[in-house]
Amino acid sequence: MKQLRKRSLWTVLTMSIVSILLISACAGPEGPKGDQGPKGDQPAKGDQGQKGDQGAQGAQGAQGAQGDQGAKGAQGAAGGKGATGPTAPTSIVLVPLDSETSEQPAVVEQGSREPQVVIYGAGFPAGERIFAELVDGTGFSNSMAIREGDKTVTDAGTFQSQVRVNASRTLDPGVYSVVVTSMSGVVATSPVVIAAPKAEEAAA
């Protein structure tokens, strides 16, 4: 019984080995790789979706650090000098020649180149040249010459000038205006009276 079992095991084992050898002998070498098949059709592209709603605005970021200061630009050209204004209320006072003081309006006797007066002015632009003229009741102007004293305004805005009518003529008695004008156009006026000579002087 035991011997029969041994023979059966050997028979099975022998047949298994033979079967393996037969299978190995029948398996040939691997054939060459075939060509790759054509690429399949690409599916159609779908429609683009609608644009989504805009999201809420985000919180404002923190302020950045201040940048460095830029280089200083070139200085612009200086503007023109403006007109010099009066330093005080402009005024003039007239005093007849050879008098210390006088009531206003000043009174002078009729004569050649009259009126001859000293003009005291204040409130004019410092350093400006001044011009004097005598204007009669009709508006006619007679230029006046500065004989002595200031021809330009002092640093304090004042002047003291002795003047007379420039032309060698005798004006009619009446009320006249002495007008003083600076180069920048500042003007002041004061009345002066030319009186007829007194009767005794006229008789002499």
Which domains are assigned to the chain? 91-197 (2.60.40)
Q: Cα–chain-centroid distance for residue 193? A: 53
Across 12-33, average pLDDT: 67
Examine residue 105 and say whether the peptide bond preceding it is cis (omega within 30 degrees of 0).
yes
| Amino acid sitting at position 172 | D
> Does residue 168 sit in helix, strand or coil?
coil
What average pLDDT is seen over the chain? 84
Q: For 47-103, what is each residue's pLDDT tens digit? A: 777 887 887 887 887 888 888 888 888 888 888 876 655 456 899 999 999 888 889
pLDDT confidence of residue 95: 97
